[in-house]
Structure 1
Amino acid sequence: MAEIVPVEAAPDGSADPRLADYTDLTDVELRRRREPAEGLFIAEGEKVVRRALAAGYAMRSMLLTPKWTDVMRDVIEETSAPVYQVAPDLAERVTGYHVHRGALAAMHRRPLPPPADLLRTAHRVAVFEDMVDHANLGAAFRNAAALGVDAVLLTPRCADPLYRRAVKVSMGAVLQVPWTRLESWPQDTRLLREAGFVTAALCLDEKSITVDALAARRDDRLALLFGTEGDGLTPGALAAADLRVSIPMDAGVDSLNVAATSAVVFYMTRAARLRD
């Protein structure tokens, strides 16, 4: 069982070095540089902390406000990592925002698997190209988990799924869905081809088939490619794809945002597999 260590504010206002993992959590650029380099990520809130542990991630430390100590008692009893208890105002001063969920944990990252390892047993995968918005990425991962996507592949410029906001928006789904990064894009579409996947690019193109037609094909191995908000998929990704697919729209709307698009397409292709 971990010892609960009360931590108080230093008289000179300096940050306690034991809380270094939690400092300046709202500084996106700082955290994007620090966290992968130091092999850590932050799980925020009781549910996300529990899902991270259930997914096999090891805890570095936990930071709790007093009201959350009893709520997390079972977690405290099962960890050997230090547990720091701080007043709400100190938590806000250290992190840079009001920690209303009262529970944060610094977790160890794990090495990412080679893409071929994920593709070996998968039948339906999502490929996110250059998605830099953490909220969209987190929502798309949540859709993937809810709708039975086997794995997620990220292109090199994609945002970090383990950044705090992405983890939070996904409700911990980024810790459940197997994922990794591709090293070279769109050249790595060859990995999908070699593994027997049909690649379907979601885009606005008059030559596209509808998502209903895609689902009716019932391809055994299907890779769904999603681009960025606004620009969509790059010309290289479109040229490498086997199919171009669109969602029919009404009322003069030309498209949905990428997270909503992923939900529709994941559901439609999942329904086809369930019928099989």
Structure 2
Amino acid sequence: MPDLIEITDRADPRLADYRDLRDVQLRASLEVEHGLFLAEGEKVVRRAAAAGFAARSYLMAPRWVDTLADVTSASNAPVYVLAEELVEQVVGFHVHRGALASFARKPLPSVDEVLDGTRSVLVLEDLVDHTNVGAVFRSGAALGFDAVLLAPRCADPLYRRSVKVGMGAVFSTPWTRLPDWHSGLVDLSTRGFTTVALTLAPDAVPIEQAVAGVGRLALVLGSEGHGLSQRWESSADRRAVIPMAAGIDSLNVAAASAVACYVAARR
């Protein structure tokens, strides 16, 4: 059984993994530097543990101790129990799901490992919003995509907001970062994937047409602002658009990914 440790001082150094969760820049650098990530809420904590991530510690209000006892009892990590108002003071916001856990990251696999046996992969270029990254992972997992590849400057899929919005899809979906942005799509084409870029380029065809007859598919999504870089847009094998009405020319990348994944899964 793990140690149940009641903490009454928000400055307790054992709570370092959980401080200042609203400071995105600080947390992003701290978590990568120390090789950790946070899971928020019972379902996400359970999914992280089930995926084999090693817990560093758990932090929860008293009412969650029994609910998550089966998870915490399977780990040697300490369980820090705090009054709900103290949890809020430590993390910087109201944790209405009542439970957090700090897990150790695993080394990222190679591109070869991620693509082994893969038929459909999502490729993300410079998505900087953690919420969008989590939503894309969730759409891909729900609609049958096998893996995700990220350009070097994409937001961290293991950041708390990404994990929460994605409902832990990042734990079950193989993913890694491309080592070389410049030749990323060319390399995928060489590996036998048809790269289909979502874009408003003049030669873009409806997404249904672009994915028709494709065997191994790499569906490429660009950043929230200007979309795909000229390099990636031009080096994709095909360019696709989601046809729209009423003068609207585009969707948020999270919504666009869901639509495109749905169409691609039925190709």
TM-score interval w.r.t. the shorter chain? over 0.9
Runs of 4+ in 1 over 3 A off after TM superposition: none
* Secondary structure of 1:78 counterpart: coil
- Find the aligned partners of 2:218 and 2:122 in 1 and give their Cα distance: 6
| 1:257 paired to 2:252 | yes
Contact 1:47 1:171 in 2 (8 A): yes
Q: Which amino acid aligns with 1:30?
A: L
Q: Which amino acid aligns with 2:224?
A: E
Q: TM-score, normalised by structure 1?
A: 0.94
Query: What does residue 31 of structure 1 align with?
Result: 27
How far has the Cα of 1:23 moved from its partner? 0.8
RMSD (Å) for aligned C-alpha atoms: 1.0
Q: TM-score, normalised by structure 2?
A: 0.97
* Secondary structure of 2:141 counterpart: helix
Q: Which amino acid aligns with 2:69?
A: R
| 1:52 paired to 2:78 | no
Query: What does residue 7 of structure 1 align with?
Result: 7
Contact 1:21 1:106 in 2 (8 A): yes
Query: What does residue 155 of structure 1 align with?
Result: 151
Match of 1:131 among 127, 132, 147: 127
Q: Which amino acid aligns with 2:209?
A: A
| 1:42 paired to 2:38 | yes
- Find the aligned partners of 2:6 and 2:107 in 1 and give their Cα distance: 33
- Between the aligned residues of both structures, percent identity stands at 54
Match of 1:245 among 223, 232, 240: 240
Structure 1 unaligned blocks of 5 or more: none
How far has the Cα of 1:72 moved from its partner? 0.8
- Find the aligned partners of 1:205 and 1:192 in 2 and give their Cα distance: 21
* Secondary structure of 2:152 counterpart: coil
How far has the Cα of 1:46 moved from its partner? 0.1
Aligned residues: 267
- Find the aligned partners of 2:202 and 2:159 in 1 and give their Cα distance: 37
Match of 1:121 among 117, 120, 125: 117
Deviation readout 1:17-50 (Å, 9 max, x if unpaired): 1111001111111101100110000000000000
Contact 2:47 2:171 in 1 (8 A): yes
- Find the aligned partners of 1:247 and 1:75 in 2 and give their Cα distance: 43
How far has the Cα of 1:188 moved from its partner? 2.1
How far has the Cα of 1:3 moved from its partner? 1.5
How far has the Cα of 1:165 moved from its partner? 0.6
